Amino acid sequence: MAKLLGGIATSHIPAIGVAMDQGLEETPYWKEFFEAYPPVRDWLYTQEPDIAIIFYNDHGLEFFHDRKPTFAIGAAEQYENADEGWGIAEIPPVTGETELSWHIVNHLIEHDFDITVCQEMKVDHGLTVPLTLMWPGHKYGHVKVIPVAINCERHPMPKPSRSYAFGKAIGDAVRSFAGDQKVVVMGTGGLSHQLDGQRAGFINKPFDLYCMEKIVDEPELLTRYSNYELVEEAGAQGVELNMWLAMRGALEGEGKLKELHRSYHLPISNTGAGLQLLATNSAR
Amino acid sequence: MSQTVNIPGTIMLDGPMATKGYPLNKMCYSFNNAAARNEFKEDEEAYYEKFKLTEDQRDAMRKRDVIAMLEAGGSIYYLAKFAGLLGLSVQDVGGLQTGMSTEEFKAFLVKQGEV
C-alpha cells in the first residue's frame, strides 16, 4: 500500500518565486523568511517521497470564469508553467503521474466528490512557488506531482469543512493504492491577506497563529468556519486556508501526527507567511 | 450563502458580480499573453471595444481606479495582470486602494506584525 509520510503547509506568494529567481534570499527583507525552509527541505531529502500531492488554487493561468472547477485534479505525465502576465519567471515542466491520479479520481467519485479531471493543465505560482521552495534550483524533476486545484477566488467556493473532507477522501485513496510509493501532501497559500478593496493590506497575526496551533490536533475548530467568516478573520484571500485544511484532511486516519516544524513571518508581500510540517508514523 | 454579509472595504466576488465583471475579467485574463499586452498598450480604447467592456468598466480602466474596477465586477486575480502590465507592484495597488502612498502601505503591513 502507498504510504503517506506527512504534510507540509507553505505560503505560495509570487514574490517568493521572484526573490529566488533574483537570488535575494540573504537580503534583510527575505533572510528570516528563507531561513525557515532548510529543516523542511532536509526532511524531504531524508524521506525521499516519490509523489507529492499539492493542493493549490489557480490564479487565472489555467482556469478562467468561462469554466472554473470547484475542485480539479491533474492526471497527466507532465504539467507546464506559463506566463502569468506580471513577470514571474517560468519554471521548467513539472513531472506528473497518472496511475495514482486515476485511482484517486475513482475513489473520489465513489465517495461523492464529483471532481473535474484535467489530462492537460498549466500550473501557476500557487503550485510552482511551493515546489521551488522545497526543491530549489528547479531540482524537482524526480518527484511526481499530482496537482489538486481548489477554487478560492470566486464565491461560492468549497466550505472549509468540505475542503477538509475532500482532503480526507484523497488520503484514504492514497492508503488504498496498491504499491509501495511514498507520498507527501502539501497545502499551499495563505495565511491571512487581502489584496482587494479599501481593506487591502489586512493581516491577522493572532488568527494565523491560532490556525497553525489548532491544525495539528484540533482541525475541527477550523473546519467550522464559513468562508465568509474566514474573509472576516483572515482577509479576502485568507480563504486559502482551505488548502491547508485539505492537506490536514489527507492526514486524518494517520493517527497522532508529529509536528516537526512551525514558523510564521510577516509581512511577505501583503501576507502572513506560514510554514508547517506534520509527519505521520510512516515517516522515518 | 448569505449575500447580506457586509465586511467594510471588501467587495465580494460572487456569482452576480462575476456576471457583471465578465468582460473586464476576460480582458485582463488575456494579459497572460505578451502579444495581448502589447495590443492593449497600442490602443487601449480599441481593446476595451474588443472585449465589449461596459461604460463603467471603461471609465474605471481609464482612470486606473482599482476600487471602481472591483465595483464593476473585477476579480483581483485578473486585475493583478493589468497592474503588472502597468508595472505596479501589489503594494502599489494596495496604496492606490487605501489612499496611502506605497511606502505608507508597506509600513502598515509591517505594523500588523507588532501584535
The fraction of chain A above a pLDDT of 70, given in percent, is 100
pLDDT for A68: 98
B80 touching chain A per CB within 8 A = yes
A254 neighbors A282 (Cβ within 8 angstroms)? yes
Radius of gyration (Cα) for chain A, nearest Å?
Answer: 17
pLDDT for B5: 67
B57 neighbors B23 (Cβ within 8 angstroms)? yes
**Could you identify the residue written with the cell 470547484?**
A70
A61 touching chain B per CB within 8 A = yes
User: Which stretches of chain A are DSSP H helices?
Assistant: 14-21, 28-35, 38-47, 99-110, 125-134, 160-175, 205-217, 220-223, 227-234, 241-250
Q: Supply the mean pLDDT for chain B.
A: 95
Mean pLDDT of A139-143: 97
Minimum CA–CA partner of B107 in chain A: A267
Q: Where are the domains of chain A?
A: 3-279
CA–CA distance, A48 with A181 (Å, rounded to integer): 10
In what order do the strands lie in the sheet containing A258-268?
A: A116-118, A71-74, A144-150, A51-56, A182-188, A3-10, A271-279, A258-268
Q: Is the pLDDT reported for residue A104 higher than 80? A: yes
Distance from CA of A196 to the nearest CA of B (A): 6
pLDDT for B68: 98
| Closest to A9 (Cα-Cα) out of A50, A37, A49 | A37
Q: Is the pLDDT reported for residue B1 higher than 50? A: no
**DSSP of A114-181, one letter per residue?**
--EEESS-B--HHHHHHHHHHSTTT--TTSEEEEEEE--SSSS---HHHHHHHHHHHHHHHHTSSS--
Over the stretch B11-52, which tens digit does the pLDDT of each residue have? 999 999 999 999 999 999 999 999 999 999 999 999 999 999
Contact across the interface for A85 and B85, Cβ inside 8 Å? yes
CA–CA distance, A48 with A143 (Å, rounded to integer): 9
Domain A3-279 bears CATH identifier 3.40.50.880 = no
Task: Specify the DSSP element, H or E, that contains A272.
Answer: strand A271-279
Please work out, in degrees rounded to the nearest 5, the angle formed at the alpha carbon of residue A188 by the alpha carbons of A184 and A192.
Answer: 145
Q: Which of residues 13-72 of B touch A (CB under 8 A)?
A: 13-15, 18, 22, 25-26, 28-29, 31-34, 37, 66-67, 70
- Whether the model clears a pTM of 0.90, i.e. scores above it, the answer is yes
Over the stretch A40-74, which tens digit does the pLDDT of each residue have? 999 999 999 999 999 999 999 999 999 999 999 99
Q: Where are the domains of chain B?
A: 15-87
pLDDT for B4: 53
Contact across the interface for A269 and B91, Cβ inside 8 Å? yes
A-chain residues near B93 (CB < 8 A): 195, 200
Contact across the interface for A200 and B9, Cβ inside 8 Å? yes
B77 touching chain A per CB within 8 A = yes
Contacts for B67 with CB less than 8 Å, ≥ 6 apart: A197, A198, B11, B97
Confidence of residue A87 (pLDDT cuts 50, 70, 90): confident
The fraction of chain B above a pLDDT of 70, given in percent, is 96
A-chain residues near B12 (CB < 8 A): 155, 231, 236
A252-269 in b/e form (b: 16+ CB < 10 A) is bebeebeeebbbbbbbbb
A-chain residues near B37 (CB < 8 A): 85
Higher pLDDT, residue B115 or B7? B7
DSSP B71: H
A187 neighbors A55 (Cβ within 8 angstroms)? yes
- The fold of B15-87 is Protocatechuate 4,5-dioxygenase; Chain A (1.10.700)
Task: Specify the DSSP element, H or E, that contains A265.
Answer: strand A258-268
Q: Is the pLDDT reported for residue A172 higher than 90? A: yes
CB-neighbour burial class of residue A216 (10 A; exposed 0-12, middle 13-18, buried 19+): middle
- Interface probe for B, chosen from A86, A209, A265 (most Cβ of B below 10 Å), is A86
pLDDT for B2: 45
DSSP A70: S
CB-neighbour burial class of residue A32 (10 A; exposed 0-12, middle 13-18, buried 19+): exposed
Cross-strand partners of A259: A278
Residue of B33, B79, B113 with shortest CB distance to A205: B113
